[in-house]
Structure 1
């Protein structure tokens, strides 16, 4: 049974891609086929092959299906700024229809486990009054929330979970990514998150010296997402 999820975070720079790549690696380790999409990315480097984003390349590296870079990341912008601003400067209308088409084509490939990674947090603006959160709504995808564990994360996590539910989507699970290993009362904060978030914790990822997909995957339990994931 194929399953697909939208990956969002409590903020930008909290390891969303690191966790997404770990989730894909964990799925591959269980014998599942994998695919991923990062429909829009800013902060891309100009290479001989065109603009390339490090996060999108990390996801592509964990896809078992033969996807091209352009399939994973159809909209790539050079400036390391908010995607809607980068798109505006490039003269591109960044709306849900523009993003949804390429994502649907990736999902249609039928991988056992597919991830669609957002940019930043839940309410990242698109053109006009639209938000990136409108994309998983349009696609009907359950959500995996990456919580960057540091001071203030409880508020960010609970507000994000409330927004996801208010938008009519299911929070399928969350991952505690300890971005600040010196967080005061770490255990108490993690316990509070577990009490307040209405979904299972898929894993607690410590601050790793080398956060490779394999290293991250060792701290994750995909079986908590549903019975289709083999233990």
Structure 2
């Protein structure tokens, strides 16, 4: 039974949060209790008299299940840096068991959990662990967000190879049109469809104001 997925991307700033919200919005049409989780967020914005992760706020807006922040965003770090550096500046250390525990607490309440990573697949969390280790600890199928821009073919293939080398399933990928001036965009899409070895789950058009509802989504039959 489908219980959720782990969202990674070919790089930082290529639309993992938007891709996560697109999937949450689509999944909410089939499941009553869907929730997004941002285990680690680095870089906070002012919010309601305090500070919050912009990514976590977006995931909450796309979720149908409301939970305490300690479940859907257990680690929030002020500085917009790689998680291991942001944690060091905050005097903290990121520990995988805490994140896994919070995920299971969240999953016990939800029908589906969409977990969004931070940065790329090999972003460091501490002196030993990387984001890929968190994905492996959760054991969820992985969805790769590909920001369509020059260089994305190489980055997408390398990341897909690394996901499979970790023993995880690449369940699908999301195309996000981040560069409205990209040349040969259809040819690049066709190449990725032919070579990534996983289905295209969503195609997100370029938007000045991103709207998850505008994506063209094709969920696998066993996700609904």
Q: Normalising by structure 2, report the TM-score.
A: 0.94
Following superposition of structure 1 onto structure 2, how do residues 81-96 of structure 1 map, counting pairs within 5 Å?
81-96=81-96
Alignment-derived partner of residue 10 in structure 1: 10
Shift of 1:213: 2.2
Q: Tell me the secondary structure at the aligned position of residue 206 of structure 2.
A: coil
RMSD: 1.5
Contact 2:78 2:90 in 1 (8 A): no
Contact 2:10 2:120 in 1 (8 A): yes
Contact 1:36 1:106 in 2 (8 A): no
Contact 1:27 1:33 in 2 (8 A): no
Relative to structure 1, is the Cα distance of residues 2 and 201 closer, same or farther in structure 2, using a 3 angstrom cutoff?
closer
Alignment-derived partner of residue 170 in structure 2: 171
Post-superposition CA distance 1:118-172 (Å, at most 9, x none): 0011001011121011011011111000000000000000000000000000000
Aligned partners of 1:76 and 1:155: how far apart in 2? 31
Following superposition of structure 1 onto structure 2, how do residues 115-134 of structure 1 map, counting pairs within 5 Å?
115-134=114-133
Q: 1:221 aligns with which of 190, 213, 218?
A: 218
Give 5+ residue unaligned stretches, structure 2.
Answer: none
Aligned partners of 2:117 and 2:125: how far apart in 1? 12
Shift of 1:220: 1.1
Following superposition of structure 1 onto structure 2, how do residues 59-208 of structure 1 map, counting pairs within 5 Å?
59-109=59-109, 111-208=110-207
Shift of 1:55: 0.7
Aligned partners of 1:123 and 1:93: how far apart in 2? 17
Deviation >3 Å, runs of 4+: 46-50
Aligned length: 224
